[in-house]
Amino acid sequence: MHRIEDYALIGDEQTAALVGADGSVDWLCLPRFDSGACFARLLGDEDNGHWRIAPVGAGRCTRRAYRRDTLVLDTEWETDEGLVRVTDLMPQRDRAPDLVRVVEGVRGEVTVRSTLRLRFDYGSVVPWVRRADGHRVAVAGPDSVWLRSVPEVPTWGEDRSTHSEFTVKPGERVAFVLTWHPSHEPRPPLVDPYSSLRHSIADWRAWASRCRYDGPHRDAVVRSLITLKALTYAPTGGIVAAPTTSLPEEPGGVRNWDYRFCWLRDSTLTLSALLAAGYQDEAEAWRDWLLRAVAGDPADLQIMYGVAGERRLPETELPWLSGFDGAAPVRVGNAAVDQFQLDVYGEVVDSLALARRSGLSPHPDVWALQRVLLDFLRSVWRQPDEGLWEVRGGRRHFVHSKVMVWVAADRAVRMLEENPDLEGHAGRDDLEDWRALRDEVHRDVCEKGYDEERNTFTQSYGSRELDAALLLIPRVGFLPPDDPRVLGTVEAVRAELGQDGLVRRYTAERTDVDGLPGVEGTFLVCSFWLADALHMTGRTAEARELFERLLGLANDVGLLAEEYDPVGGRLLGNFPQAFSHIGLVNTALALFGDEEEAG
Q: What is the pTM of this model?
A: 0.95
Domain boundaries, the chain: 4-192, 208-593
DSSP string for 44-94: S-GGG-EEEEEETT--S-SEEEEPTTSS-EEEEEE-SSEEEEEEEE-PPPS
Q: Which helix (H) or strand (E) holds 275?
A: helix 267-277
Q: Which amino acid is at 220?
A: A
The number of residues in the chain equals: 599
Residue 392 confidence (pLDDT): 73
How far, CA to CA in Å, does 227 sit from each of 30, 391, 412, 457, 577? 19, 27, 32, 34, 9
Q: Per residue in 24-43, pLDDT tens?
A: 999 999 999 999 999 999 99
Whether pLDDT at 598 is above 50: no
More confident residue, 518 or 63: 63
Whether pLDDT at 56 is above 60: yes
Q: Can you tell me the distance from the alpha carbon of 457 to that of 467, in angstroms, rounded to the nearest whole number?
A: 9
Environment class of residue 267 by beta-carbon count within 10 Å: exposed (0-12), middle (13-18) or buried (19+)?
buried
Q: Given 1.10.1050.10, 1.50.10.10, 2.30.110.10, 1.10.1740.10, which CATH number is that of 208-593?
A: 1.50.10.10
Residue 535 confidence (pLDDT): 98
In the beta sheet, which residues pair with residue 86?
Answer: 75, 103
Equal CATH topology for 4-192 and 208-593: no
Residue 418 confidence (pLDDT): 85
Whether pLDDT at 420 is above 80: no
CATH number of 4-192: 2.70.98.40
Q: Which helix (H) or strand (E) holds 148?
A: strand 143-150
Pairing mode, strands 128-132 and 522-523: unpaired
Contact 29, 35 (CB under 8 A): yes
Residue 18 confidence (pLDDT): 98
Q: Is 525 left (phi over 0), alpha (psi -120 to 50) or beta?
A: alpha
Neighbours of 126 (CB within 10 A): 16
Residue 267 confidence (pLDDT): 83
Instruction: Share the mean pLDDT of the chain.
Output: 93
| pLDDT band at residue 417 under the 50/70/90 scheme | confident
The average pLDDT across 401-426 equals 85
DSSP string for 153-192: --EEEETTEEEEEEEE-BT-EEEEEEEEEETTSPPPPPP-
In the beta sheet, which residues pair with residue 164?
Answer: 114, 155
Q: Could you tell me which residues come within 8 angstroms of residue 449 by beta carbon, excluding any fewer than 6 positions away?
A: 397, 399, 402, 457, 458, 460, 461
Residue 359 confidence (pLDDT): 87
Whether pLDDT at 515 is above 70: no
Range in 224-238, 331-345, 362-376, 553-567 the model is least confident about: 362-376
In the beta sheet, which residues pair with residue 143?
Answer: 140, 182
Q: Per residue in 86-139, pLDDT tens?
A: 999 999 998 899 999 999 999 999 999 999 999 999 999 999 999 988 789 999
| pLDDT band at residue 594 under the 50/70/90 scheme | low
Q: Per residue in 263-284, pLDDT tens?
A: 988 888 898 999 999 999 999 9
Residue 298 confidence (pLDDT): 80
Residue 511 confidence (pLDDT): 45
